Amino acid sequence: MNNDNDVRINRKRTVYDGYLKVEEYRLTHRRFDGNWMPEIRREVIRRGAAVAVVLYDPALDAVVLIEQFASALM
């Protein structure tokens, strides 16, 4: 699995277009055994030149949040 024929994008739509842009993809891809996976849905957040990591603990169903700048700016 390493070529363009191993992923099929069935649908792409913009679900939000404001400060951030959120796109929803419906896609399927080949497994290592060559069979196709069922369709899955994934969201992509586009913000330009930035990087983000979301720390998620599935056992606690919790994420880590950090305040990046003073709320007086909001």
Query: Measured between alpha carbons, how far is 39 from 26 in angstroms, rounded to an integer?
Result: 6
| Local structure of 48: helix, strand or coil | coil
Instruction: Report residue 65's pLDDT band, with 50, 70 and 90 as the boundaries.
Output: confident
Q: What is the mean pLDDT of residues 30-35?
A: 90
Those residues with Cβ within 8 angstroms of residue 55's Cβ, 6 or more apart along the chain or in another chain:
63, 64
pTM above 0.75, yes or no: no
% of the chain residues with pLDDT over 90: 50
| pLDDT tens figures, 52-64 | 788 899 999 999 8
Tokens of 58: 């599935």
Which of 2, 1, 27 is CA-nearest to residue 13?
27
